[in-house]
Copies of this chain bind each other. A is one copy, B any other.
Amino acid sequence: MEQRVSLITLGVSDLGRARAFYAALGWHSDTDPDMGVVFFQTGGSVLALWGRGELAADSGVEDGGGWGGVTPAYNARSREEVDAVLEEARAAGARIAREGGETFWGGYSGVFVDPDGHPWEVAHNPHWTVRADGSIELPKS
């Protein structure tokens, strides 16, 4: 198995609402609105939105009903961008679970929660490189 993640699918209860939320953050999808799924090109990977019940059945798992131990993160280029993204998410209807602030690991982050309850950490990590194209490069040990 190559060391990569191709796609993350977020299960949602209202596909149109979920798509509109991510569109309000400035994201664009070419997926036909009649398709029953939405795909966003996210750098070299893809973020999908799909009905949560369909995703649970397709994934062969029972739905615990809440959060299930997976949190995506967006690494910003500065502390100011963290705060700006949290404001943008708030304006789009997200709940802010944690306002931007210093973290125990020497960075700065906050958390927004999308309309389906999926948290996103928004972080500035001074130890990691965010390249011009948005990709992340871990430090070499």
Footprint of B on A, CB under 8 Å? 1-12, 25-28, 30-32, 39-47, 52, 55-56, 58-75, 85, 88-89, 97-98, 111, 113, 116-119, 121, 123, 128, 130-131, 133-138, 140-141
Contacts of A28 in B (CB 8 A): 3
Q: How far is the CB of A101 from chain B (nearest CB, A)?
A: 12
A54 to chain B, nearest CB (A): 10
How far is A3 from B58 in the complex, measured between Cα atoms in Å?
A: 26
Of the candidates B5, B30, B66, which one forms a contact with A140 in the assembled complex, judged by CB atoms under 8 Å apart?
Answer: B30
Residue from B52, B60, B113 within 8 A of A119 (CB atoms): B60
**What is the bound-complex CA distance between A43 and B44, given in angstroms?**
8
Nearest 9 pairs of A and B residues by beta carbon: A68-B68, A64-B66, A60-B97, A44-B135, A11-B69, A64-B64, A6-B75, A30-B141, A7-B73
* Shortest distance between the CB of A55 and any CB in chain B (Å): 6
Closest to A60 in B: B97
Report the nearest B residue to A84, measured CB to CB: B1
Smallest CB–CB gap between A80 and chain B, Å? 13
Interfacial chain B residues near A30, Cβ < 8 Å: 138, 140-141
Q: Is the CB of A45 within 8 A of B6?
A: no
Residues of B within 8 A of A67 (CB): 56, 59, 61-64, 68
